[in-house]
Amino acid sequence: MTYVVTEACIKCKYMDCVEVCPVDCFYEGENMLVIHPDECIDCGVCEPECPPEAIIPDSEQTAEAWLEVNRDYADKWPNITRKGETPPDADKYKGVDGKFEKFFSDKPGKS
């Protein structure tokens, strides 16, 4: 069991989640974070901390596709443990549909 980050995170990156994770299992892409499924201890602490509700448990049906994205990019992107700077336009993209297709970047973050 693990929690996963969905496309709702793309271009939001409030990063409140990374501050609360007890095992530091978030990884940073250019405009999205992911959780390493093998490192997450399924504590659920991060879920309510995420303003756009991008974090869901893998027991939810919609989580399956995101689990693969999280696993794949957690291996490629750098670990992030401290909240960084939220992009100034983050609120504009909150709740926008289809963000993965429109905006996903596979580039690593700056951590």
d(C-alpha 20, C-alpha 93), whole Å: 23
Dihedral, CA atoms, 88, 89, 93, 94, nearest 10 degrees? 40
Q: Does 23 bind ligand SF4 (CB under 6 A)?
A: yes
Token pair recorded at residue 57: 């448990």
**Minimum gap (Å) between residue 64 Cβ and ligand SF4:** 17
80 forms part of the interface with ligand SF4 (CB under 6 A): no
User: Smallest distance, Å, CB 103 to ligand SF4?
Assistant: 13
Task: Report if residue 4 touches ligand SF4, rule: CB under 6 A.
Answer: no
Q: How far is CA 91 from the centre of its chain?
A: 16
Does 1 engage in binding with ligand SF4 (CB under 6 A)?
no
Least distance to ligand SF4, CB of residue 23, Å? 5
Q: Give which of 24, 25, 20, 28 is closest to 84, Cα–Cα.
A: 28
Residue for token digits 């974090």? 55
| CA–CA separation, 63 and 2 (whole Å) | 10
- Shortest CB 107 distance to ligand SF4, Å: 16
- Interface residues with ligand SF4 (CB under 6 A) are 3, 5, 9, 12-17, 20-21, 23, 25, 33, 35, 40-46, 50, 52, 54-55
